Structure formats: structure tokens, C-alpha cells
Amino acid sequence: MIGHKVITFDEVSSTNDLAKEFCNEVDSNGIVILANKQNKGRGRFERRWHSSDIGGVYLSIILAATLINFDPKLLPLIAAYAVSKTIEQISDIKTFIKWPNDVIVNNKKVSGVLVEKYKNFYIVGIGVNLNNRKENFPIDIKEKATSLFIEGGKVYNKEIFLKDFFSSFESVLESFNSLDLIKEIKKKSYTLGKNVNIKVADKNIFGKVIDFANDGSLLIESTDGKIEYINSGEIVDVN
């Protein structure tokens, strides 16, 4: 059960790093590491995730690899979908999912996911800008990031958010069907039907997102008419 045990800290370096210390417990599956602040929070590609603001939600969930009966590459999308669903349950805020791991509100990032494999576990790190104030965002992300407080104009209860999120995430995991998930992701996609620039390894691919594969990969029609199958990369621009 997700959140059957929530271990809370005031400040940590990274909840993902700390979660590794709890991966040997008998009941490790579903344990949540929660922090009020992180001083070394990170996202994909070792980018810093601003998490020194106590208004945010910073957590990591430990999942036993043996209990995951689907392609683990889908975990970032599943977590992002659960965050998106939770935000819309507790607010009137419309959300979108930017492949492969971000939740977008009004063209700005409100949440990100980082999944790491450690021993026989997957650690799902999640950051959500819940009650963060704009003036507290670092200058380099002020125009790229937002929070539920900024968008909704009110303070949201962190405990209610966590309770609903744990329930949503567990529900998706228990009743998982890749076709159903991809169908929902398409509805919420920030990129489907748009022209994008995707950085894959050491090259950039330009084209239109035309579909999602059942494993969560993107199907891109490149500018030369070729269909590209992208299962790893970063969308650096959306038109």
C-alpha cells in the first residue's frame, strides 16, 4: 500500500538518495520519504530541482521491482498522471502532461518526476509546487515554473493532497492497463499534435508528435517525413 509508512524529515539532501537507506526493510514496498525541504533536490539529467521552499511537496516512493508487472519506463508517466489527476481533484486547475515526466499548468511546470532503479527497487521521486510563492522561485525559473497557490489563488492542504495522491497512484498501479493509461495520457498530453524539438543523446530531432506507443514512447513525424520512435529524450521546445 502506497504510504503505509511515511517517514518525514524537516530537511534532507534528496529524498531519492535517502530512500535508498530504506530499501532493505521487509515492508519497503510503498514506503514514502517526505521532506519539508531538500538542499540537493534534482530532476532528470542531474538538473537542480528548487525545493528549499516549504510550500512544496518533496517525496520519494519505494516500489519493489518484483511487483511491477509492466514496462518500468512507464513509471514517470504513471506518476505524472497521478499528480495531474490529484491536482484536478482538489482544485479547478487544468493540467497537462509533458512527456515523459512533467505536469504543466498554463504552459508552466508545476511538477516533475525522477525515477531511479536501486537494487531490486524503483524509487519514484516527485516534486510538486503546491503553495510556493513566485517571489521564492530562483530567477532562472521564475517564468518557467508555477504552483497551485499561484494558479488557484489560495493555500492548499498538503495532507489532503498527499492522501489523494497516494490513493490515485496506487489505483493506477493496481488496475494498470497500458492501453487505458495511454488513452488518458493522450487526453492530457501537452505535446500531442504539436511540433517539437527533442534532444536524444547527442542529436536533436524536429518533428510533429503524432501518437504514443503502448510503452509510453513518442511517435514523431520528422521534418523529412520519417517516423521516429522515441523512448528516451528531452523535449526542449514545443510549438
Q: How far is it, in rounded angstroms, from Cα 95 to Cα 93?
A: 6
Give residue 47's pLDDT.
Answer: 58
Tell me the per-residue pLDDT of 212-231, one tens digit each, with 9 for 90 and over: 998 899 999 988 889 989 98
- CATH number given to 195-238: 2.30.30.100
The fold for domain 6-188 equals BirA Bifunctional Protein; domain 2 (3.30.930)
Give residue 200's pLDDT.
Answer: 85
- Chain-centroid distance, C-alpha 154: 23
Q: Please give the share of the chain, as a percent, with pLDDT higher than 70.
A: 94
pLDDT under 70: residue ranges of the chain: 25, 40-52
All residues at 6 or more sequence positions from 237 whose CB lies less than 8 Å from its CB, including other chains: 196, 197
- Chain-centroid distance, C-alpha 47: 14
Please report the DSSP string for 6-17 in residue order. Answer: EEEEEEES-HHH
Give residue 45's pLDDT.
Answer: 44
Local structure of 179: helix, strand or coil: helix
Q: Could you identify the residue written with the cell 510556493? A: 132
Q: Between the CA of residue 158 and those of 52, 107, 163, 190, what are the distances in Å?
A: 16, 23, 9, 26
Give pTM, 2 decimals: 0.93
Q: How far is it, in rounded angstroms, from Cα 125 to Cα 117?
A: 11
Under 8 Å between Cβ of 91 and 83: no
Give residue 223's pLDDT.
Answer: 83
Domain ranges of the chain: 6-188, 195-238
- 167, β-bridge pairs: none
Give the dihedral sign, CA 28/33/38/44: positive
